[in-house]
Amino acid sequence: MIRAVKGTRDLLPPDTAVWNRVEAISREVFRAYNYQEIRTPILEEEQLFARGVGTDTDIVSKEMYAFEDRDGSRLVLRPENTASVIRAYIEHRLDQRPGVQKLYYIGPMFRRERPQKGRYRQFFQIGAEAIGSESPFVDAEVIEMVSELLTRAGLSGFTLLINSVGCQNCRPQYVEKLRAALQPVAPHLCTDCQRRAETNPLRVLDCKVPEDQAAINALPTILDSLCDVCEPHFAKVQGFLTDRGIAFEVKPRLVRGLDYYMRTTFEVTHGDLGAQNSVLGGGRYDGLAESLGSNIHSPGIGFSIGEDRLVMTVAQGGDSALDVFIAPLGDAALSHAGVLARDLRRAGISVEVAPNMKLKRAMELANKAAARYALILGDDEIAAGVYTLKNMQSTEQHRVTREELSKTIGNRN
């Protein structure tokens, strides 16, 4: 009898109802944050991941399903999707579109790793990418969206871990410091870490071998080496998360397994998944587009959820127009806008916030985004508790209280 290939599985009713529910909730959350779907090919050129993900990563060196096509080209089954999304972003000149490009995807990925609880050789990811901004506000909004998605899907008791892995200016000095600290201990670490200590010391921090953890925990952390740009960036991310009441834990040795990450990195873990307890991971990748051949600086941040693992932990069981575009004027208004946007989204209203942008430019983006309303938020509005709301179709402006806001925007008649 022919059976499913090792590491793959059939998803059958009634389990598929849970998958559909998780995906429907994900789409609802993405819509609330003004993300739109992108679908990339399952087949990609091998060099896309060698250049983007990194030749020394386990994904590229050990896990990719790679083969030679009939014309001699080297193809792979995609092992992850961020590099594919950035490839599509470059190829189709999405940088020419106004504002931050907010894209999400749901689909299968392929890695030839050892099958284990919640991990398969064909697995599914739910992910999103926000491309075109270096603002820490965007970092916090992405992390907030992750938290909101998991909560709506029914996941509780999860832990959010965050860190900064620096940038091209401060990370090289830290890597050399790490390389020096690894010299006396590397011979006692696992075989992979002995290799990484020479080729890519930062990857040692991603080791999951229990016997290596004591030595790894004694290594210097990058938080002591962040530059004058990365340190305040990370502080602002934490501040925005605190403003929104999102609990997090700073984990100084948290790194992602892919070479393209820089600055903000994050991970969500859950105790029901055993030793390999990560539900999702993500972070900022400001130099990925350039590493793939783009001459346009395209900073971005994103995440991917292991849908197989998320489904294991949750209970069994229209209109695409943007509702409101918030234009905050100043830093205090930006913090206030983050909390206000969260509350509106929870009421089922789709919201876009324009961080650090002049009012004229914000109104232009609101118009191009086909927003039904624009909300102008300054110090006077915050002090008075009354906001200026502009109907983008009639151009009429009127003042509304915070209590009236959801009802006014939510009324589509």
Domain ranges of the chain: 15-156+266-313, 171-217, 324-410
Q: What does DSSP say about strands 122-131 and 300-306: parallel, antiparallel, or unpaired?
A: antiparallel
H or E stretch covering 159: strand 159-164
CA separation (Å) from 288 to 90, 226, 299, 399? 11, 20, 8, 44
**What order of strands is seen across the sheet that includes strand 373-377?**
351-353, 324-328, 373-377, 386-391, 397-401
**Distance, CA of 108 to CA of 111 (rounded, Å):** 10
Q: Quick one: pLDDT at residue 316?
A: 47
- Same topology between domain 15-156+266-313 and domain 324-410: no
Q: Quick one: pLDDT at residue 52?
A: 63
Q: Is the pTM of this model over 0.95?
A: no
Q: Which CATH architecture is the domain 15-156+266-313 placed in?
A: 2-Layer Sandwich (3.30)
Q: Quick one: pLDDT at residue 317?
A: 45
Query: Could you give the dihedral angle defined by the CA atoms of residues 304, 306, 311 and 312, in that order, rounded to the nearest 10 degrees?
Result: -140
Q: What is the pLDDT along the chain (413 residues), one digit of tens a residue?
A: 999 988 889 998 888 888 999 999 999 999 999 999 999 999 999 888 877 666 656 667 678 888 898 999 999 999 999 999 999 999 999 999 999 999 999 999 998 877 666 678 899 999 999 999 999 999 999 999 999 999 999 888 899 999 999 988 888 888 888 888 888 888 888 888 888 888 888 888 878 788 888 888 888 888 988 999 999 999 999 999 999 999 999 998 888 756 678 899 999 988 765 555 788 999 999 888 888 888 888 999 999 998 988 888 875 443 457 999 999 998 889 999 999 999 999 998 999 998 878 889 989 999 988 899 999 998 888 888 889 999 998 889 989 998 889 888 877 65
CATH no., domain 324-410: 3.40.50.800
Structure token digits, residue 404? 């009236």
* Among 186, 151, 165, CA closest to 305: 151
End-to-end CA, the chain? 59
Query: In sequence order, what are the beta bridge partners of 334?
Result: none
